[in-house]
Amino acid sequence: MDGTGSTANPFVISVGPPACEDVRGCFSAGDGISYNENTGLISARPSTDPGNEVAFGSDGGLLVPPVDCGDVRPCFSAGDGLTYDPATGEFGPDFSADAGNNITTGSDGGLFVPSGAATVSTDCGLTGDGSAGSPLAAAVGTWTLPCDVTANAGQVYCDANGVLRSEPRGVANFYSYTEARDYADLTVPSGFDQPGDHFEFDVTNPDPCRPALAVIEREADVDFVLPANGGGAAYGHSTDETYYVENQGNAVIDDAHVQTTKMFSLSTRLAPGETRTMTFDVTLGRGKGGATYNRIQVAIRCLLISL
């Protein structure tokens, strides 16, 4: 301490520089910094975790080596909706190949979905533009029949080619069989509904989907020779006698005949593709006075209807 303490010569206290070891304890190191209390050296502290690229350069500064794109590109891949080219490192949109996809890229390179009114065209059978306010719908008519549409209307189906199909179309087919047989003046039996002759032919339901209703029409015509004074004879369709004739005159009647017809439907329908034999038994009876027959002519006609 210098000076006398007077106004002209005040006391002056001189303090020398502090020793380094006296102040080093005032410092400590946080994250990313290291501190050596013995030397007083403060420096950067790189992490020792695996994969750390931070190091010291030749000038003593921190150094992160440049990234080689070829080294890091294998680290990337593309998920749904994106594509990735490892050769260029470029990502891009991945457009679905599903039918009806309208997504594309706009003039600014962004993803773009055109409005429904501008991209959806409808043809016969469709209405709407695909928007929320005008969804695509089937163009249907108005049900005007008195029956319930849900319980009675047919249905529409999608075939293997994606084409709408209705229920199978109705199928109708007509079969006709005729035959005439001659006989050597055979005696007409005296009983009722006795066997005369048997006729048959086959019909096939052409519908591969549905059973067919068979409407049958059968015709018979028998030529009788009726002796004079009471010669009589009858014929019928199976057990149904349909015609009787008797000669009350005094001369022979040759080839007396009348054609009769009956119509009916089979009690069971023909299954799809089924072939069934249609039969016709012509019966004779009530023969008397030496009556004979020499000809039987038949016709069997069948209408098959599938609806």
Whether 25 shows a pLDDT value over 80: the answer reads no
Answer yes or no: is 198 within a domain.
yes
Answer yes or no: is 219 within a domain.
yes
pLDDT for the residue 117 = 43
Q: Are 186 and 285 in contact (CB under 8 A)?
A: no
Whether 230 shows a pLDDT value over 80: the answer reads yes
Whether 54 shows a pLDDT value over 90: the answer reads no
- Looking at residue 189, what DSSP letter applies? P
Whether 160 shows a pLDDT value over 60: the answer reads yes
217: CATH: 2.60.120
| Cβ atoms within 10 Å of 209's Cβ, excluding its own | 11
Answer yes or no: is 234 within a domain.
yes
For the purposes of burial, counting CB atoms within 10 Å of the CB of 80, is it exposed (0-12), middle (13-18) or buried (19 or more)?
exposed
Q: pLDDT of 243-266, one tens digit each?
A: 999 999 999 999 999 999 999 999
Answer yes or no: is 180 within a domain.
yes
Mean pLDDT calculated for residue range 223-232: 97
Mean predicted lDDT score pLDDT of the chain: 89
For residue 222, what are the domain limits?
171-306
Domain count, the chain: 1
In sequence order, the 6+-apart residues with CB closer than 8 A to the CB of 116 are 129, 130, 131, 134
Length of the chain: 307
Q: Give the Cα separation of 301 and 307 in Å (integer).
A: 20
Answer yes or no: is 266 within a domain.
yes
Q: pLDDT of 87-140, one tens digit each?
A: 787 878 888 988 778 788 888 878 887 664 455 778 888 888 877 788 888 888
Q: Give the Cα separation of 172 and 31 in Å (integer).
A: 96
Q: What percent of the chain shows pLDDT beyond 70?
A: 95
Higher pLDDT, 67 or 118: 67
Answer yes or no: is 193 within a domain.
yes
Three-state SS for 58? coil
pLDDT for the residue 176 = 97
Answer yes or no: is 87 within a domain.
no
Whether 218 shows a pLDDT value over 90: the answer reads yes
pLDDT for the residue 55 = 85
Query: Binning pLDDT at 50, 70 and 90, where does residue 62 land?
Result: confident
Answer yes or no: is 287 within a domain.
yes
Mean pLDDT calculated for residue range 186-203: 97
